Amino acid sequence: MKFDYDLFVIGAGSGGVRLSRMAAAWGAHVAIAEESRVGGTCVIRGCVPKKLLVYASHYQEEMEDAEGYGWHFERGAFSWNTLIDRKNREIDRLNGVHHKLLAESGVRVFPSRATVADCHHVEVASERISARYIVVATGSRPVMPDIPGIEFAISSNEALDLPEFPRRIAIVGGGYIAVEFAGIFNGLGAHVDLLYRGKQILRGFDEDVRDVLAFEMKKKGVATHTGIDVSRLDRRPDGSLQVTFGDGTDDCYDAVLYATGRNPNTRALGLEQAGVALRENGAITVDSGLATTVSSIFAIGDVTDRIQLTPVAIREGAWLAAKLFGDSPADVDHYQSVPSAVFSQPEVATVGLTEADARTRHGELDIYRSSFRPLRHTLSGRDEKIFMKLIVARGSQLVLGAHMVGRDAAEIIQGIAVAIKMGATKLQFDATIGIHPTAAEEFVTMRTRA
């Protein structure tokens, strides 16, 4: 059978773009469809714009800390509209860059929604197009609960483009998106109430990391309320939002942001009719080769709901391109020792196992912890500490996990991740000479077992 394209990709996020470009480099005839802007959640409405807002939210503290070093600045005036305008310009630029990269790779872009018609056909822009392989890379979307007044709340998407800066904001949720936005709005001068129904924020992270971050966020002024539910939202005559809690009490805010999870974007794509199996939350079921239950249809990235991280989607895209059109690599596990970061304030980064998971899998452990005041704050006077933790298998002395809370945690853990991926032992960490004076050297100087 002759096909219009060797590969048709639905969704031009980070994974879909990488897959398309790599497949074209292998000589495939490729098309990609995107109903929104090219770049996906990470570039357009996620990691990149959010990190720019994180940078902006640090400047007030930086000016305060500078006084300890002899600098004095008059209190500045922050403009939310200026920040959003500059952020939007950068997102426009990145959208253009991605379009250019696809064009230079010879990939045709359909700026429309595409749906799966059957195992070898998609429908896009009133066209029925055939393809040898179809890959779904449509990402995920924020989930909003079904409570009265939820239409008044915003998600992380809208939080990046609010027309006015909220002086009082409630953020519902305790995951990485919630704590990141709590730090952003708090750093920019808002009163922030973080509302989470669980016992502690950052479920799934190491328990010490969760406790340390919660304590440090409180010192910075974020009011975290755990064990609390929201039962309804109401718009008041003055435009504010009244939040009624599960215990019957209430409070008022300028905005209410829900960050309570994300679901895969698989609605109305025609997948089930084509025979593609979905899980209960809409995630596409794939095997170790990223194939769905239909042999010619594959899926990558958040739409499979395994590890919702941009670098994972990018790695899957590149690997799948080589599998389908290149040197046919064997199925591999992309999901062990994946480093990740939370751009909270202070920052969190981690790689490998939590202490609880390590105990379940490996039994007896050696735990190393360190908490200290960084050198920069000996003069700034700020009450902020760095926390580091190494988890080591007692028998083999393999380093199973590394966790950090503090400034530049993500930059530091990225390097540590290489060592853990290679199977480094605690002895090899100990044999490594540190760079002094840095916070990072603590990872190779911890000697006392906790």
> What pLDDT, in 10s, does the model give residues 363-416?
999 999 999 999 999 999 999 999 999 999 999 999 999 999 999 999 999 999
pLDDT at 76 exceeding the cut of 90: no
DSSP annotation of 391 reads E
Residue 423, classified by CB atoms within 10 Å of its CB into exposed (0-12), middle (13-18) or buried (19+), is: exposed
DSSP letter string, 9-60: EE--SHHHHHHHHHHHHTT--EEEE-SS-TTHHHHHHSHHHHHHHHHHHHHH
- pLDDT, one tens digit per residue, over 313-361 is 999 999 999 999 998 777 667 799 999 999 999 999 999 999 999 999 9
pLDDT of residue 75: 83
pLDDT of residue 332: 66
Q: Which residue, 39, 376, 344, 41, is CA-closest to 218? A: 344
Distance, in Å, from the CA atom of 191 to the CA atom of 204, rounded to the nearest integer, reads 27
Report the CATH number of the 150-260 domain. 3.50.50.60
List 340's β-bridge partners, or say none.
350
Tell me the pLDDT band of 218, cut-offs 50, 70 and 90: very high
Across the range 100-112, mean pLDDT stands at 97
Residue type, 296: S
pLDDT of residue 184: 98
Q: Where are the domains of the chain?
A: 5-142+263-325, 150-260, 346-444
- pLDDT, one tens digit per residue, over 166-206 is 999 999 999 999 999 999 999 999 999 999 999 999 999 99
- Active site residues per annotation: 436
Distance, in Å, from the CA atom of 317 to the CA atom of 326, rounded to the nearest integer, reads 13
The whole-model pTM stands at 0.96
- Domain 346-444 homologous superfamily, CATH: FAD/NAD-linked reductase, C-terminal dimerisation domain (3.30.390.30)
- pLDDT, one tens digit per residue, over 5-49 is 999 999 999 999 999 999 999 999 999 999 999 999 999 999 999
DSSP letter string, 64-94: HHHGGGT---PPP---HHHHHHHHHHHHHHH
| The CATH fold of domain 5-142+263-325 | FAD/NAD(P)-binding domain (3.50.50)
Distance, in Å, from the CA atom of 277 to the CA atom of 45, rounded to the nearest integer, reads 28
What is the average pLDDT value for the chain, to the nearest integer? 96
Whether omega before 346 lies within 30 degrees of 0, making that bond cis, reads yes
pLDDT at 252 exceeding the cut of 90: yes
Distance, in Å, from the CA atom of 31 to the CA atom of 109, rounded to the nearest integer, reads 6
Beta-strand relationship, 250-253 and 340-342: unpaired
Q: Other C-beta atoms within 10 Å of 417: how many? A: 19
Distance, in Å, from the CA atom of 400 to the CA atom of 199, rounded to the nearest integer, reads 26
List 8's β-bridge partners, or say none.
31, 134
In angstroms, the Cα distances linking 75 to 66, 67, 86, 222, 365 are 12, 12, 22, 21, 49
Give residues with Cβ within 8 angstroms of 122, minimum separation 6. Answer: 8, 10, 33, 114, 115, 116, 128, 129, 131, 134
- Same fold flag, 5-142+263-325 and 346-444: no
Distance, in Å, from the CA atom of 187 to the CA atom of 308, rounded to the nearest integer, reads 26
